Structure 1
Amino acid sequence: MEGKLIPQKTVQNGSLPVSSESDGSASLQAGRLFAMARDLHGIQVSTRRRAALVGLFGVGVLVACGDGPASREAASAVQPNEVGPSGPALGARLLTPGPTAGPSGLTVVLPNSDLAAGASRRFLLGLLGPDSRPLPNLEPPVRFFKLQGERAQLRAEGTARWFTSPALSGRGVYVTRVDLPEPGQWGVEVQVRAAGGVQSARASFEVKAQSATPDFGAPVPASQTLVGTTPAEIEKFCSARPVDDLHRLSVADALTQQRPLAILFSTPAFCTSQTCGPALGDMQALAEIHSQRGNFIHVEIYEGAQPPNVVPAVREWGLPSEPWLFLVDAAGKVVEKFEGMITRAEVEPFVARLMNE
């Protein structure tokens, strides 16, 4: 089950009621909020810190050569409502994509690296307090805007849900689902209730026309991934220690069996976000439960289990980051995919549904 969904709302009279900042200031038009982001919301986080923060929330960018049943229901759509303009040449002053600190010190981090237009996209969020420490275990309201020049159009709103696992030592990520019907520049606003009131942080992000990775309903590449049956064989191409037993089938061979398939791309020893090992552990636990009804495969990111060269499957699947989990139906088509921090709490309902179809 995704985060609680706010009932559908219609915004009235061309003004989007943005909750007050911690100082109790009045609401502002959404167009101004995004168009004048540098003036209103503090200094943009540096590129170097952005990379570090994104890694903190579970996504490692590849720079090498070469509470009930799960739901994909998106955040509630709202009736499109445009606001703005709110000043001269505001289109050139839109918020630069990346982590952004609000005036209260709240920072929102956007770890996704492959957001494309489509329905029910998995949207990741990280939140940092004024002391730059992650803020866990909240249910923050989120609102999504389509940005066009001087205007911001409210499109959806919902609540993000916190996911973690014991192996992550308290780390986690917020997840919500959102319909992104068109490519281009979008914005997100996150709110956190604190002792001083409601604190907000906003950031913009780019939505691509097409996903770089295999998308929902698309056939997956029949990659000839490496296989092994003994630890000595697997150690030659898998960086996990001890090695895992999810290398008995290649992706190509698994597809010929026409069974449900879960494929995890991860490099436990070299994962820049340090989430590949926990993700692999969760996958092994799920395989023990569901392997009678489907196949589970781990694909190491690097050739010879050593950087810097990635295995051919990474290029064939278009992976821009790691780790990734793909759920594939018996027809060989993607039914779900997860980037970055992958936890059993989030993915198990999807896996169970796939394996029982």
Structure 2
Amino acid sequence: MRITILVCGFVSILAISIMILSCSSSETESLMWDAENIGRSLDQKPFVPTILNSNLGKGVNRISLGMFDDGQPIGGLEVEARIFQLGENPESNPSDAILIDQKFFNPVSLIPIGPHAHSNESSHSHVHDGAEVTVYIAYFDFVNSGRWGLALNVIDTKNDEVYEDLQISLFVHERTSEPQLGEIPPASLQALVSDVNNISEIDSSLSPNPDLHNMTIKEAIELPQPTLVAFVTPGFCQTKFCAPTMEYVVNPLYEKYGNKINFVHIEPFDLKRARSGEGLFPTKVVTEWNLLSEPFIFLLNVKGEVSAKFEGIMSLQEVELELEKLLFN
């Protein structure tokens, strides 16, 4: 027998007023998780909620949620989610769901870099859209693989609007494709600055830092100190956040902690083939780590185990917070 657990949420955050998003047992039980009802919950809404993770796995996940209006991410929202474990077949039994938890999603923003030249196109500069881009982050421990659902309550602070029970479904695998928390990742042997004629062969940054290419992942894992591994491609961004990730996250952390932890930068794509116009082909290390997207940052503890990982848009503050935990532990 399935028992529906009710959690009524309190959302406060507006500077001018405090709003309470309440829920009742009947409202919770009325949610249906088939495709038709999920689609209906999003009808006539000014944005579409989208899970941005390349994949989710059983255990603790950093869930990245985007709210899109005509393909553009929307900021200035306050997002609360009720998290449901769904039955095996929502289409035939859409009401089969257990309310497991309730989470607030914290906004994380990056500003795409303005006029700049990529190392693969140094003859000219161009502009990425400089508008601040926001995603919403929450950490949740999926105790089981299978189908899950989020029922979102969203406050639009700019327009003073509230939207309730926006539903999205997701699938949680037995494990993520990339290394999981607590695992020791592959001891990869990437090319170092000492292996190439020019650092541009292994780094697409406009001003590459050779200190990020002096140590293999294998060496970093074997050393008794924490490690930051950054899979970032400033020159061939597919998500337009690789360059900001290097400039606003990796480089500042290196300046502050470069003498305390190991830093390793990996280009996700074969730069020679990318620059020749052949296309974007993952490097051997990306294949070994089974990454499905970029940018990706992993923090490893002194045992070489993954202690934290960040995919897509991330802030300096959230990465530094986890890095500080490593140093103090």
Shorter chain as denominator, the TM-score bin is: 0.7 to 0.9
Q: 1:124 to 1:34 in 2, by over 3 A?
A: farther
Equivalent pairs, count: 280
Which structure is higher in RCO with an 8 Å CA cutoff and minimum separation 6?
Answer: 1
Equivalent in the alignment of 1:49: none
Distance 1:108 1:295, change over 3 A: same
How far the C-alpha of 1:292 sits from its partner, in A, is: 1.4
Letter in 1 for 2:170: F
Contact persistence 2:54–2:292 (CA under 8 A): yes
Aligned to 1:134: 73
Secondary structure at the residue paired with 2:78? coil
* 1:299 paired residue number: 266
Query: Normalising by the residue count of structure 2, what TM-score does the alignment of the two structures yield?
Result: 0.77
Q: How does 1:1-357 map to 2 (within 5 A)?
A: 10-11=5-6, 29-30=27-28, 33-39=31-37, 41-42=39-40, 101-118=42-59, 120-129=60-69, 133-148=72-87, 149=89, 150=93, 151-167=96-112, 169=130, 170-194=132-156, 195-228=160-193, 233-245=198-210, 246-281=212-247, 282-305=249-272, 306=274, 307-357=279-329
Q: Structure 2 counterpart of 1:104, which letter?
A: K
Distance 2:292 2:242 in 1: 15
Pair 1:40–1:294, CA change in 2 (3 A): closer
The CA RMSD over aligned residues, in Å, is 2.8
* 2:14 aligned residue: none
Check whether the contact 2:74–2:134 (CA below 8 A) recurs between aligned residues.
no
In structure 1, how many angstroms separate the alpha carbons of the residues matched to 2:194 and 2:255? 17
Q: Which structure 2 residue ranges, 5 or more long, are not aligned? A: 12-23, 114-129
**Whole-angstrom CA distance in 1 between matches of 2:318 and 2:134:** 11
How far apart in 2 are the matches of 1:308 and 1:201?
A: 36
Instruction: State the Cα deviation string for residues 217-243 of structure 1 (Å, max 9, x = none).
Output: 111111001211699621012222222
Instruction: Kindly state the Cα deviation for residue 133 of structure 1 after the two structures are TM-superposed.
Output: 4.0
Q: 2:153, 2:162 within 8 Å by CA — same for their partners in 1?
A: no
**Deviation string for 1:86-107 (max 9, x for gaps)?**
xxxxxxxxxxxxxx83433331
- TM-score, length of structure 1 as denominator length: 0.71
What SS does structure 2 have at the residue aligned with 1:160? strand
